[in-house]
Structure 1
Amino acid sequence: MRRAPALLALAAAGLVAALALAGCGGSGAAPGTTTTAATLERLRIIFPEGLNVREMGARVAEVRRIAIAKRGVTPKLTRASYLAAAKRARPPKAFVADWKRGHIEGFLFPALYEFSQVTTGRELVDDQLAAFRRAFAKVDLRYARSKRLTPYDVLTIASMIEKETVAPAERKLVAAVIYNRLRKRMPLGIDATIRYGLDIPGTASLTKTALRSDTPYNSRRFPGLPPTPIANPGLASLQAAAHPARVDYLYYVRIPGTKRHFFTADEGAFLRKVCAFGYACS
């Protein structure tokens, strides 16, 4: 579907705010000394909803850079150690049957996390997995299961909702479009899946070559859900993915100049809006 580029909870200009440093009795241990509780720094990192694992790794690198530059603290946590830990991580047991080994995408829960200069990549990933377990325990899966969707399917749908919506009220509507298209065996047509599969940022246009690509994440070409989640969703999107709105919508298109979309069950009405909004006219 056509939509605006995903908006992060924190814009690039606000990256410094993603790192909150509060001194704990010193500026870090000097070389060759033993780090104690009295010399640890409390560091904080914010992962907004909708980042993928690669983007979370980049956020770790940026927070580490700020810690070194602003406070003279060199965290043990690095982008490489974080991504390595993510690659080795395993999901909760309920997801293992459908889980694609080596793809922990979707399970690294977005939130604010505290750590210190001695925290490892594995420890941060473990904290995110624990937060995911707590959040997912709040999701009622009965309706999704009645539609023969697994917990992993719900997580995958939630990741697409996270990338497709900015307005909270639209989460359940986008979920409904996904459910309805799955039921009708229609390709989902969600361009965020193509961007994920080809590693194309949201700020770049999708070329005709990209739209015709044979990546298994091309939801314009291939029906059904993508192989894995495409981002790490928050609780609101998880709940929407399990409880879509009871509407018959099959299409949506972003309303220019807004954060909202026009939804419809009629292809003709959808195409007319696409043309009226200046996207393309057939």
Structure 2
Amino acid sequence: MFEWLKNWFIPPNNGDNNPRLELTRMLWPTLGLGALLSFSVMVIAFITKTSYWEHLVMDALIIFATSLFFLVTLRLGYLRVGANGGVIGFGFVAIYIAVTGSGVKGISYGLFLLLIILSALLLNRRAAYIMAVISSLIGLGLVLANQAGILPSAELSLSETSTWLIQCAYFFMAAVMLDIALRQTEGALGSAKKELTERKRMENEIIELNNSLKKRYEEQTAQLAASEERYRLIANVSSDYVFSSKVDQDGNINHDWAAGAFETIMGCNFDEFLEQGGWKAVLHPNSVEQDRQDIEKTETKSSI
């Protein structure tokens, strides 16, 4: 039984993350408190039988019924109806209580202040200003009606106990509404702070990644430059050449051609090389005998 009541008084969540509908879910405590306070006022007024207690019970009953209606509306998941209808419904309740009461002189006129706060929370800031203008115009109408003598209960005077009960209801409902506003503000600030922290973390990671890539690029660029310099030096200090010579059966040498860096290494072109006597002329004296042996091995097709 108690678990069922507990679950019933938990506002529904239909998955809609609209901020205004989130505020409507947060309105649940306000409506619950309104129903509880109005019911308490009815009971106390009925027991104490204060002056004009019948009028007080009737007003409290209307507030109780309205609060209970929108509680059921929210419980069934009609959040937009609860948001828009709540403001309109309690607006008519406030008008009725003010008209049947003592107009702007009565404490019931202060209910419009709660309606202005409720409009700002559930609708938007513009709605709050519109409600403020409407409340002012209704007050002006009540003043004119009182001066014309058409208010039914212009001289209605509640007892101190009744006044205290109504003011207490205003106090608690205002506190709950402000609590809703502060929760929403703190939630928005918390989300913004969390998002800012996450964004800074991602920016730091991106900066670190950029620095790492920049460092790797600089290292690879330096390695490439060093490699290019190394190969350039090798190319400058090293070269090769090829020349072809034929030795006939009589030992005569015929030089066919030369290629590569022949002129750079030998210090003369191929024709000048031939005029000097060919490769035998440039052999080192210590290599002459070895060259003769190599020629003989070549003639016998032996390995050199």
User: What interval of TM-score do these two structures reach, taking the shorter chain for normalisation?
Assistant: under 0.3
Bigger-Rg structure (1/2):
2
Q: TM-score, structure 2 length as denominator? A: 0.21
Tell which has more relative contact order, 1 or 2 (C-alpha 8 A, sep 6+).
Answer: 1
Instruction: Give the structure with the higher percent helix.
Output: 2
Q: TM-score, structure 1 length as denominator? A: 0.22
